[in-house]
Structure 1
Amino acid sequence: MKLLLQQVVINDPRSAHNASQKDILVIDGHIAEIGDALVADDAKVVDGSGWMAAPGWVDPFAHFNDPGFEHKETIASGALAAAAGGYTTVMVVPNTKPVIDSKTEVEYVMAKAANLPAQVLPIGSISKGAEGKDLAEMYDMRASGAIAFSDGIRPVQSAGILVKALQYVKAFDGVVIQIPDDTSIAPHGLINEGIVSTRLGLPGKPMMAEELIVARDIKLARYTDSHIHFTGISSPKSVEYIRRAKEGGLKVSCSVTPYHLFFCDEDLMSYDTNLKVNPPLRTRQDMLALREAVMQGWIDCIATHHQPHDYDAKVLEFEYARFGMIGLESSFRAVNTVLPGLSADQLAALFSINARRIFGLPEARIEAGQAAVITLYNKEGETVFTTNDIKSKCSNSPFVGHSLKGKVIGTLFHQKVNIPVS
């Protein structure tokens, strides 16, 4: 297939064409030529005026629920949601049924993910059954395609197990991903511990539960000289710990969610169960500090923590509602809304380049001769996010009804074209 994208602005700081308006000719899934006023016989021509063309975006932490919970999401429906949100690659957590803790489950995901509009890569479980007790078959999973290792939404509590995992992944330069949460501290906490939790009469969870795990795991990463990635960071103190670790030369990286940048615990005054997440939404001051950390470049990636839940899991008393929200389709627009000062180069780093470097993914460059792994978007304009924007099987999103800036046009992933083509 030949596709000619006309007058798009290249958004790749590693490209010789960065920040310039060019035509891009794609032939059979590869970028054949980049130039001015290109002409190609038999090519489908798309007017991309006002569009940005970035290296394909990567989400390093999402839940597709397949196998075992396909009523919430499947690998196929998750890939559709990813493409709608501008993502060409999604890393999925192992908290399925059965848990992705052996090569059989990894191969299942890899097989079902073939020929979808976005690449879906399994994160292998650190421990058997994600129970935090015994190491899983990490080497076999890596050989079968596991991109990283984590117990997903069930963070590893045992320092002994985590240090073994960090030592184990060194054999293949692997990465361990951890949601930092000491579950023994306020185990029944529902929202951030503070003034709002007191007013609402809901059990609180202090930021200390996050900060203790970050501090501990940084020490383990130093001891093992291995790479740990913290995801869902919500505490400014955690950011400080991670920044110091990086400055000390440790292999430490981190990601934040769009919802921790967009919402704070004050938004919970309506008891909206879609805002029940873990780690919980923090104070307004903490939220603003996280935004500043992103602007300063202390945060490596944006991770959606996409977690679909059916109606019955969310529409009930706050205490009994499940943690998590969907986030693939709203991710870019939410970040672009609250951080309009982010440059195009910063967006490319946050949504693609850094994640590819951290997890050893193939580079995606907007250069002639490279594979066509491209996200097309527009930073301008403002529209209301509605359920029509959701391609996931579930709609547990607090962003519905919010006016968000920017627009995702679509993606090119090798020969899969997910943009309007006449």
Structure 2
Amino acid sequence: MILLKNVIIVNAGSDLNGKKRDLLIKNGKIEKIGASIKEENAKLVEAANLHVSIGWIDTSVSLGEPGFEERQTLENGVKAAAAGGFTTIMLNPNNQPNPQDQSGIKYLKNVTAHQAVSILPVGSFTLNQKGKHLAELYDMQEAGAVSFYDYKHEVTNANLLKVGLQYASSFNAVVQSFPQNKDIAGKGMVNEDTVTTNLGLKSMPSLAEELQIARDLRIATYTNGRLHIPTVSTVEGLKLIREYKKTAQNVTCSVSIHHLTLSSNELETFDANFKIQPPLRDEKEVKQLQKFLNSGVIDVVTSDHTPLTIEHKDLEFDRATAGTIGLESAFGILNQLTDLETTIGLLTKGYHVFNQATPQIKEGQIANLTLFEPETSYTFEKSHIVSTSKNSAFLGKAMKGTVFGIINNKKALWNER
């Protein structure tokens, strides 16, 4: 048993929102919520300004295992997610092999079962993510896949996306389409702007994203299939989605935390930790992206966590692999950009977007909870990184708010304090 003492509940739409209460957790369920609960046999959890919300979900996480265990194992990934406050993560098909049939999904479900962090596998959209033939979508969903995505690969064949959305809609599945037109992007590795031009780096215009989003939205209109556009990084892209959402509800999107706070100015040091896909945009674009946080256009904010070893990052910029870790730092950044309720909303709406039951803070409900303190300020350092790989773009950046721990799947994980 666990007794959460004097916690402030953050649960928008609930009568308990903003109230200070005690929560008694027994056998993995919220047994009682009250103003003052006494239970001598319970483990007491109490801290100054301690808040609780439903467990957070990250909809775009890559881990090394299987295939690249040197980057990050599943075990270490669970610890990193918990350190960041996430009770649920969606595992991108960014491994070797990638799941593209029922057996691949079943394997991931079996090896990740009974963890404190629930791991939801995402299946490949096409065979070998080559964009030529659909993978076994229905069989993968039956085995437990929550979505289908050729990770960081655009679906070049418009007809294949059309057919895939039509097919997936017959079993209410969500298809993800990476927003980048490869013909426009070419070999660009950074955003096309004044900073990158002066640095002499191969660039791609934001048009590459906008064109792909415009095409995909048109296909979504035709098929009425459920389309999720991950890691949108341009204002024009969000404007297109905003207009679409005025008349239809079958499209959702995410924005990664680094695109909301880091700009191409970071590239002036040629630090490969800032080589990210989609690329960091200019400072003006970043500030405009932030204005969308309270608009309802952005459904979820993701860490887009991508662990990479020093062998992939300690190279000349054009040879380094794109990606940054972000599980441990996502909350501390997002919490500075908007109010607390909006922050929690953006970290929890992913359940609804991907057909998962949204946890509840109610008596009798399964305890799926994140505990945190939202006001503490600190600087993010390597000592805060739990992930095996340390390729964080947020080292040395200011943070606001710390995660105390999580409770999920009848388990609790607490951060060192």
TM-score (norm 2): 0.97
Deviation at 1:420, TM superposition (A): 5.9
Alpha-carbon separation, structure 2, partners of 1:348 and 1:170 = 29
For 1:275, the aligned partner's letter is F
Moved more, 343-352 or 303-312: 343-352
Shift of 1:115: 2.1
1:125 equivalent to 2:124? Answer: yes
Separation (CA, whole Å) in 2 of partners of 1:280 and 1:377: 31
1:351 to 311, 322, 347: 347
Q: Secondary structure at the match of 1:100?
A: coil
C-alpha distance in 2, partners of 1:300/1:133? 29
> Does the 8 Å contact 2:403/2:415 carry over to 1?
no
- The whole-number CA distance in structure 1 between the counterparts of 2:157 and 2:176 is 14
Report percent identity of matched pairs.
35
The answer as to whether partners of 1:62 and 1:90 remain within 8 angstroms in 2 is yes
Partner of residue 162, structure 2: 163
| Partner secondary structure for residue 163 of structure 2 | helix
Q: Tell me what 1:152 maps to.
A: 151
* Corresponding residue number in structure 2 for 1:73: 72
Q: Does 1:364 align with 2:359?
A: yes
Supply the RMSD in Å over aligned alpha carbons: 1.4
Structure 2 residue 396 is the aligned partner of structure 1 residue 413: no
**What amino acid is the match of 1:234?**
S
Output the CA distance in 2 between the equivalents of 1:77 and 1:190: 29
Partners of 1:23 and 1:252 lie apart in 2 by 39
* CA distance in structure 1 between the aligned counterparts of 2:210 and 2:134, rounded to whole angstroms: 25
| Counterpart residue number, 1:228 | 227
User: Following TM superposition, by how much is the alpha carbon of 1:343 offset from its aligned partner in structure 2, in angstroms?
Assistant: 2.7
Does 1:60 pair with 2:59?
A: yes
- Counterpart contact for 1:191–1:276, Cα < 8 Å: yes
- After superposition, the Cα gap between the structure-2 partners of 1:405 and 1:421, relative to the gap in structure 1 and judged at 3 Å, is closer
Cα distance change on mapping 1:365 and 1:48 into 2, 3 Å: farther
Give the structure 2 partner of residue 302 of structure 1. Answer: 301
CA distances 1:392-422 after superposition (whole Å, capped 9, x unpaired): 1100002112221111111110311112699
Q: 2:117 & 2:80 partners in 1: Cα distance?
A: 9
2:329 aligned residue? 330
Q: Please say if residues 11 and 345 of structure 1, whose CA atoms lie closer than 8 Å, have aligned partners that are also in contact.
A: yes
Structure 2 residue runs without a partner (length 5+): none
Structure 2 CA distance, aligned partners of 1:420 and 1:204? 40
Q: What do residues 105-129 of structure 1 show as CA deviations (whole Å, max 9, x unaligned)? A: 1111111111222111110111001
Change (3 A) 1:420 1:315: closer
How far does residue 134 in structure 1 lie from its aligned partner after superposition? 0.4
Contact 1:177 1:231 survives alignment (8 Å): yes
The question of whether the paired residues in 2 share the 8 Å contact of 1:28 and 1:414 is answered with no
2:172 maps to 1:173: yes
SS of aligned partner of 1:153: coil
CA–CA distance in 1 between the matches of 2:390 and 2:339?
30
Would the aligned equivalents of 2:114 and 2:409 in 1 still touch at CA under 8 Å?
A: no
The letter for the 2-side match of 1:343 is D
Q: Give the Cα–Cα distance (whole angstroms) in 2 for the partners of residues 280 and 420 of structure 1.
A: 32
Secondary structure at the counterpart of residue 198 of structure 2: helix
Counterpart residue type for residue 143 of structure 1: E
Deviation by residue 1:333-354 (Cα, 9 ceiling, x = unmatched)? 11123x1xx23321221000x2
Aligned equivalent of 2:11:
12
Contact 2:10/2:17 (8 A) holds in 1: yes
Query: What is the rounded CA distance, in whole Å, between the counterparts of 2:83 and 2:5 in structure 1?
Result: 21
The structure-2 alpha-carbon separation of the partners of 1:264 and 1:320, relative to structure 1 and needing over 3 Å to count, comes to same
* 1:382-397 matches, cutoff 5 A: 382-397=377-392
SS at match of 2:188: coil
2:358 maps to 1:379: no
Question: For the residues of structure 2 that align with 1:271 and 1:421, how far apart are their CA atoms?
Answer: 34
Question: 1:306 deviation in Å?
Answer: 0.6
Secondary structure class of the residue paired with 1:394:
coil
Deviates more, 1:324-333 or 1:175-184: 175-184
- Inter-partner Cα distance in structure 1 for 2:362 and 2:140: 33
Q: Which residue of 2 aligns with 1:140?
A: 139
List runs of 5+ in structure 1 lacking aligned partners. Answer: none
Find the aligned partners of 1:401 and 1:347 in 2 and give their Cα distance.
22
How far apart in 2 are the matches of 1:98 and 1:254?
A: 27
| Stretches of 4+ aligned residues off by more than 3 angstroms | none
Any conservation in 1 of the 2:189–2:201 contact (CA below 8 Å)?
yes
Q: Is the 8 A contact 1:329 1:391 kept in 2?
A: yes
Tell me how far apart the structure 2 counterparts of residues 314 and 397 of structure 1 sit (CA, whole Å). Answer: 11
**How many angstroms does 1:295 deviate by?**
2.7
* 170-179 or 203-212, larger mean C-alpha shift: 170-179
Asked if structure 2 preserves the Cα contact closer than 8 Å seen for 1:51 and 1:377, the reply is: yes
Q: 1-side partners of 2:393 and 2:322: how far apart?
A: 13
Aligned partners of 1:68, 1:156: CA distance in 2, in Å?
24
Q: C-alpha separation between the residues in 2 aligned to 1:260 and 1:120?
A: 24
- Equivalence for 2:259: 260
Q: Is the 8 A contact 2:116 2:409 kept in 1?
A: no
1:6 Cα shift?
0.5
